[in-house]
């Protein structure tokens, strides 16, 4: 089974159990697995990069801020329940 499928499964279990910390960690792991899978695909299809290009891309990953997490609002009922929001 791929890492993405395993991570998705772990997140689903955490959501079903209602464990907010486990959901947060599983969400982070799922995002990392998806990013890794995408990077592997792109690198396999692209021509070789120069050292400068690799360094610039690696720098993006090293300095990435979790802005998406700060700006993202819960969208599913389960996410709203876990975050303590209204379920309307």
> What is the per-residue pLDDT for 1?
73
**Which tokens hold the place of 43?**
């690198």
| Cβ–Cβ under 8 Å, residues 82 and 23 | yes
**Which tokens hold the place of 21?**
């910390």
The pTM score is: 0.64
Reported as a single tens digit per residue, the pLDDT across 36-78 is 999 999 999 999 999 999 999 888 888 876 655 544 555 566 6
Q: Look over the chain and give the mean of its residue pLDDT values, rounded to a whole number.
A: 83
> What is the per-residue pLDDT for 41?
94
pLDDT higher than 60, residue 24: yes
First to last CA, the chain: 36
Mean pLDDT in residue range 15-20: 95
- Per-domain boundaries in the chain: 3-83
């Amino acid at each position: 089974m791929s890492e993405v499928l395993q991570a998705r499964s772990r997140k689903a279990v955490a959501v079903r159990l209602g464990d907010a910390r486990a959901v947060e960690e599983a969400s982070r792991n799922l995002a990392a697995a998806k990013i890794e899978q995408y990077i592997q695909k792109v690198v396999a299809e692209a021509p070789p990069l120069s050292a400068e290009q690799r360094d610039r891309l690696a720098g993006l990953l090293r300095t990435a801020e979790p802005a998406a997490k700060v700006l993202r609002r819960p969208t599913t009922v389960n996410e709203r329940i876990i975050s303590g929001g209204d379920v309307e």
